Amino acid sequence: PEIQTTNKTLKPIVGVSGRTIVYDKDGKPCRACNTLLDFQMATGKKPKSDQINQTSLVNKAIEKDEYRQDPPDVEVLGKSSWTFMHSLCAKYPENPSPKDKNQISTFFDMLGRMYPCDWCAEDFSQYLKDNKVDTSSNDGLNMWLCGAHNAVNVKLGKKEFDCQLWKKRWRDGWE
C-alpha cells in the first residue's frame, strides 16, 4: 500500500493495516499502540509485500531462540492482558473482604493510568469513570470485566462476547 506521510515530518500517517499510526510524546512510533507491521513500517523497516499477513520473520526468530522475541504489539499485549485480567478476576472471592475490594479497584485504576498503549488506557480510564468496578462479588466483578472487554470489542468492530459464558471461558472450561 501507498505510504501516506505528513509533509513536515515525513512520518507515515497510516500503516499497512489501514490503521492510523500512533506516535509517543517523544515522536517515536509507539510499539504497544500499533500492530507489529505498522510499527515496522513507521520505524523504516517497511515489510515487503510478501511479508504482509505472514508471521514468518517472527517465527524464524523464535525457532532460533525462544527468548529472542520482539516486544509485544497492541494485539499481543491486548490478548495477554485480557487473559491475565479475566484469570485474575475468575479467582476473586465470592464474598470479598474490604481489602479485596480495595485492592481490585486499585488494580483497575492503575491499569487505566499505566496500561502501555496510551490511547487504549485513556479510553479504558474513561470507561472506569462511567462504569464503576463492581467489587461486590465474584460474579459481579466478572460480569463487569466482560462488559469492559465488550466495550473495546465494539470499539474495534468485533463481535460482543456472551457474558453469561464467562465461567466456561475463564474458569470452569466447556463440557
Residues in touch with ligand FAD (CB under 6 A): 74-75, 78-79, 81-82, 86, 115, 119-120, 123-124, 146, 149-150, 152-153, 155-156, 161, 166, 169
CB distance 104 to 92 below 8 Å: yes
Query: Closest separation between CB of residue 90 and ligand FAD, Å?
Result: 10
Give how far Cα 93 sits from Cα of 97, 139, 146, Å: 8, 9, 17
Report d(CA 139, CA 131) in Å as an integer. 16
Q: Which residue number, 39 or 166, has a Cβ lying nearer to ligand FAD?
A: 166
Residue of this chain nearest to ligand FAD (CB atom)? 78
| Minimum separation from the CB atom of position 3 to ligand FAD (A) | 21
147 class by beta-carbon count within 10 Å (0-12 exposed, 13-18 middle, 19+ buried): middle
The least CB distance from residue 118 to ligand FAD, in Å, is: 10
